[in-house]
Amino acid sequence: MSSDEPSPKYIFITGGVISSVGKGITTASLGRLLQSRGLSVTVQKLDPYLNVDPGTMSPYQHGEVYVTDDGAETDLDLGHYERFLDQNLTAASSVTMGQISAEVIERERRGDYLGGTIQTVPHVTDLVKERVRGLAEREGVDVLIVEVGGTVGDIEGQAFLEAIRQMRYEEPRNGTLAIHVTPLFHLKATDELKTKPTQHSVRTLRSMGIQPDIIISRTDIPADSGITDKLALFCDVPAEAVMTLETASSIYQVPAILERAGLTDLTLERLGLTARPAQLGRSIDSWLEWTDRLAETDRVCRVGIVGKYVELRDAYLSVKEALIHAGAQRSASVDITWIQSDDLDHADQPEIAAALADVDGVIVPGGFGERGIEGEVGVARFALEQDIPYLGLCRGMQNMVIAFARERLELPNANTTEADEHTDAPVIALLDEQREVTEMGGTMRLGRYPCELMPETLAYRLYQSEFAYERHRHRWEFNPQYRDRFERAGLLASGTSRDGELVEIAEVCDHPFMLGSQFHPELKSRPERSHPLFLGFIDSVLAESETALRHPVGATNSSH
């Protein structure tokens, strides 16, 4: 950035007392609000764990792994950022202490530090600041919002907070803003909200040299002005800068709540920024029009999500949000039934029929490992037999292929080599170039790849385009040796890689809607622009629900 250009502003958002307090939604909402005032914004997440990224973590540990166009495996909060800001982020928006530590050691091994003793200050903190400033300058934005993962007081996050303290000292007086998000706990015994946890959290933050400029207190019940006055007094923050954020029925209502609380105006004032006309579709009115559609639904889609991680629904967060987006576009709410796939591993068809009795469509999302595969194959087989709308995502597409092979190709042992390395019908397998790679993640296809769509197919009609560009995160592939046999039996490779070698989308021809994608379309869905595959699925589910009384789920379909 040249010297005559204005320096970017930095907003640092920290959380206190407990995790999952809403920092990510607050960060995404503030970004959307600043866009509504005509400012250019991007977002960055600082995660204090020592993993390089969440790619090798169990979903039970950290929810879904969100993948960017450039193949970065990141925290699920980046999904919130992308959806709210309608922006494609990169690996630079996800910084972990594992990445910082690894780079510091690499620099030390190269001799970059000229024999110096390597320390947290300055070497770790300098690299953190380099990552933060580097993103803001490369993107050329007015504002970079930086969310710090974890809670204030966590030992692993101290280096990030020290780097932020230094930046607040080094940047101009109105160049940074510190926002602290904490919970207000409601004691039922006395029916009162307690501010003491927030007071202690702010005290801890101040002990690290950071005085919050704004406090946002999360609460499940309304808080009166006495609460904000008390927080202002004991946390040394002006009363107008203490805001309570009551739990909303939808995360998409949060920007409007924070706008009414005055967060946008206060942020502009503190950073010395002037509002400009918003870009087309970025005004707050545009956002409110969309959230109004969420509340004005007159139809219900009953969808079953069948997966191996459903105990922690954040493992399928983007799938859930993509369903909400598509439903809103059709003025429909989505009623999700969560079904544990490994509970169905040994189920017969009547048991699967009972599990799906209350749904009009099924989604089988991604996952890794043998557990739950047979249950998902059984669900796919049932959807195939009963003409139930089915959308398979990554592993869900693979299990759809296995079910079709067993049912229509007379290959009773068809399987994925992920579950049965010695199957005599490996319709899903590792490709030859993957077999010699042993490092975890090294065999995966990650990030954005083109998909060429076959004319006169369902996929082509949904996309209305010859090409789609979608994000991948998977290891096993459709085995091309079986492709001709599948297509003769009625399962088409309606989307492929540009060279035609890799199957990206498979669909069943004589079915109302049975389609699977090797990629993860949920990662590209946006509130005001739902993904075509999810929209097509919702259309099919709505059509199914209208005829559900005439065609009960458990009835036998004579066409097969």
- Euclidean distance between CA atoms 413 and 356, whole angstroms: 25
The 3-state DSSP class for residue 387 equals coil
Token representation of residue 106: 């690499």
522 as an active site residue: the answer is: yes
394 as an active site residue: the answer is: yes
Q: Is 260 exposed, middle or buried (0-12, 13-18, 19+ CB in 10 A)?
A: exposed
- pLDDT digits over 295-347, tens only? 888 899 999 999 999 988 899 999 999 999 999 999 999 999 999 999 999 99
Q: Would you place residue 62 in the very low, low, confident or very high pLDDT band (cuts 50, 70, 90)?
A: confident
Adjacent-strand bridge partners of 491? 508
Say if residues 480 and 430 touch (Cβ distance below 8 Å).
no
Q: Kindly calculate the radius of gyration of the chain based on its CA atoms and give it in whole angstroms.
A: 25
Token representation of residue 518: 């090797």
For the chain, what's the residue count? 560
69 C-beta neighbours (distance < 10 Å), count:
18
Q: Measured at the alpha carbon of residue 36, what is the angle toward residues 30 and 38, in degrees to the nearest 5?
A: 110
The 3-state DSSP class for residue 304 equals strand
- Euclidean distance between CA atoms 65 and 320, whole angstroms: 14
Of 212 and 225, more confident: 212
pTM flag (> 0.85): yes
Say if residues 305 and 367 touch (Cβ distance below 8 Å).
no
- Euclidean distance between CA atoms 362 and 384, whole angstroms: 11
Task: Report the percent of the chain where pLDDT is more than 70.
Answer: 95
Supply the pLDDT for residue 548. 58
Give rounded-to-5 percent helix, strand, coil for the chain.
Answer: 40, 20, 35
Token representation of residue 166: 């230094």
- pLDDT digits over 253-293, tens only? 999 999 999 999 999 999 999 999 998 889 999 999 999 88
Token representation of residue 555: 């009835």
106 as an active site residue: the answer is: no
Q: Which of 394, 470, 504, 507 is catalytic?
A: 394
Adjacent-strand bridge partners of 243? 216
Fill in the DSSP letter of residue 517: E
Token representation of residue 444: 């995966």
Lowest mean pLDDT among 37-51, 296-310, 379-393: 296-310
Token representation of residue 37: 């005032």
Instruction: Write the DSSP string, 61-77.
Output: HHSPPEE-TT--EE-TH
Mean confidence (pLDDT) of the chain: 92
- pLDDT digits over 162-185, tens only? 999 999 999 999 999 999 999 999
Q: Which of 180, 474, 511, 520 is catalytic?
A: 520
- Euclidean distance between CA atoms 356 and 353, whole angstroms: 5
Instruction: Write the DSSP string, 215-258.
Output: EEEEESS---HHHHHHHHHHHT--GGGEEEEEPPSSGGGHHHHH
Strands 299-307, 361-364: pairing is parallel
Say if residues 195 and 220 touch (Cβ distance below 8 Å).
no
Say if residues 247 and 219 touch (Cβ distance below 8 Å).
yes
Q: Which of 374, 522, 531, 544 is catalytic?
A: 522
Q: Alpha carbon 214 to chain centroid distance? A: 27
The 3-state DSSP class for residue 467 equals strand
Supply the pLDDT for residue 281. 86
Which domains can be identified in the chain, with CATH numbers? 9-289 (3.40.50.300), 297-546 (3.40.50.880)
Say if residues 199 and 235 touch (Cβ distance below 8 Å).
yes
Token representation of residue 465: 């385009």
With both helix axes pointing from N to C terminus, report the angle between 317-329 and 284-295 in degrees, rounded to the nearest 10.
Answer: 90
Q: Which amino acid is at 350?
A: P
Say if residues 77 and 25 touch (Cβ distance below 8 Å).
no
